[in-house]
Amino acid sequence: MIPKYLYPLFWDTNRDEFEPAAYPVYTVGRVLEYGDSSAVAWLRQNFSEAQIKEIIRTERRLSRKSANFWALVYGIAREEVAALREAPDPLTRSA
C-alpha cells in the first residue's frame, strides 16, 4: 500500500491495492519523475539505494531531465544512464 499523499503519482493504478514492492521499476520511476521531497523521502525509506541506482541506470522511461538530475544526485556517470544514451536507429541496425 502507498500513503494517500502519493496517490496523485499513481493515477493509473488501483491505489488501494497497489503494492509498490511488487513493481519496483514502476514505483521508483514514477516517484523519481513526478515526486516531491516527501515522496522521495518515502522512496528512500522503502527501497534501497542500490535498487534506486539500478533503476536510474536502466529505466529508459525517465525523462532526460529527471535522469540527468538523479544521476547527479546519486553520482552515476551519464554514460551509465539508459535514458541519457541515444536509442539505436532501427533503420541502421546491423544484420
87 or 56, greater pLDDT: 56
pLDDT at 78 over 60: yes
CB of 56 closer than 8 Å to CB of 81 = yes
Radius of gyration of the chain (CA): 15
Confidence label for 93 from pLDDT (cuts 50, 70 and 90):
low
Q: What is the pLDDT of residues 22-48, one digit of tens each?
A: 999 999 999 999 999 999 999 999 999
The C-alpha cell that represents 24 in the structure block = 519496483
Amino acid at 44: R
pLDDT at 90 over 70: no
Among candidate residues 84, 88, 26, 89, the one with its CA nearest the CA of residue 57: 84
pLDDT of residue 5: 95
What CA–CA distance (Å, rounded) separates 67 from 45?
Answer: 20
Q: The whole model's pTM is what?
A: 0.86
Among candidate residues 62, 47, 58, the one with its CA nearest the CA of residue 81: 58
